[in-house]
Amino acid sequence: MLFQIYGSTSGTQLLGWLMVFVGLILLNEIARRTKIGGIAILVVIPIILTIYFIAIQCGAFGGHSNQTYEYMNGWFHYFKLYAATIGCIGFMMIKYEWGIGKSHWFKAWPFVIVAANILIAVVSDLESAYHAFQVTGDLSGAWWASNEGVFLYGGWWNILNALAGVLNIFCMTSWWNVYSSKDRKDMLWPDMTVWFILAYDVWNFQYTYANLPTHSWYCGVALLLAPTFANALWNKGGWIQNRANTLAIWCMFAQVVPLFQLSENFSVLPSLYKGATGSALDLYDKAIAVYQSGTNTANEVVAGMGITANPIPQGVVSILALAINVIVLAVIIKRAKAAHINPYKADVFVGTKDFVEAEARRA
């Protein structure tokens, strides 16, 4: 079992997941189907939120007691929000052929933004492994507290997942063959088929599970499945646009209402925290205190709460993530050699079901 879903709050935990999953799908549909919807959700709302965030820093809306400031004031959260939003705006520029969106060279923007985000996650994995090594002198596993107020259990699984992330970058093929759909609803990347989507989803789930464990029920399951679900059923070839839109939407929501995934009713802890009896909010308060103390007493504090680490799921999923990315990269190399092409300039998955269906939607 990957998550602790049982007891009196299991109903609200499942309800919370369903609300996030359905909400992301619906908002993505609003953002992708019309210019007005896309501009409203991905341009106007972020501008309004930026003003709101600045106002909080200046003491308005509760200032330091505002839940955004108290629980989501780290640079990482803001960076992810704006990186995802900038990615979405670039995708709209390609889709609607605005400005540089008409240029052939800008078609590599989706690759650049996805690769950059993957590398940030790789650094996070390596950081966790480094902190664990500082405690034990090896990679067998150790607790440490992040500046996001999370107790993380770093170890060799972080190294494996970091390797999987690097390989995942090279699993993105045909960087410049990105198009607008006939109906101008989507930016299409036909060569980004189920092969890449599977490799990315497993790798990214492990990243969230290991580095954002108290949020991973939502950002590691609901958020990953929403764009994959849409791509599988009605938006073939538009996965990367779906992924960017839903990520930006989720980051906006999480930044404004962080207590949703931390409070007792909707909080879901991974099985890593074996023996935990409180919510993610209880863990947050103790983790942020450890971080602010400047000394790594995480192992002692966690033990004092009656929690013992259960890193087995982290290890299993990291091995799976690395294996899948190795397999996908091997398939890409094999197909590229057979077709005598450069897989990063030409389409690799020509003739496959996903590619054919996405290509048929091209303008």
Residue % of the chain over a pLDDT of 90: 93
Q: What is the pLDDT of residues 270-314, one digit of tens each?
A: 999 999 987 899 899 999 999 999 888 999 999 999 999 999 999
Helical (H) or strand (E) element with 98: none
Write down the pLDDT at residue 100.
97
pLDDT tens readout for residues 195-228: 999 999 999 999 999 999 999 999 999 999 999 9
Share of the chain above pLDDT 70, in %: 100
pLDDT digits (tens, 9 = 90+) for 26-62: 999 999 999 999 999 999 999 999 999 999 999 999 9
Render pLDDT for 321-330 as a digit per residue (tens, 0 to 9): 999 999 999 9
Residue 38 CA to residue 50 CA, distance in Å, equals 17
**What per-residue confidence (pLDDT) applies to 21?**
98
3-state secondary structure of 179: strand
Beta carbons within 8 Å of 361's beta carbon, 6+ residues apart = 181, 182, 186, 188, 236, 237
Of 115 and 282, the structure prediction assigns the larger pLDDT to 115
Q: Tell which residue, 252, 262, 192, 250, has the closest CA to residue 223.
A: 250
Tokens of 275: 């023996």
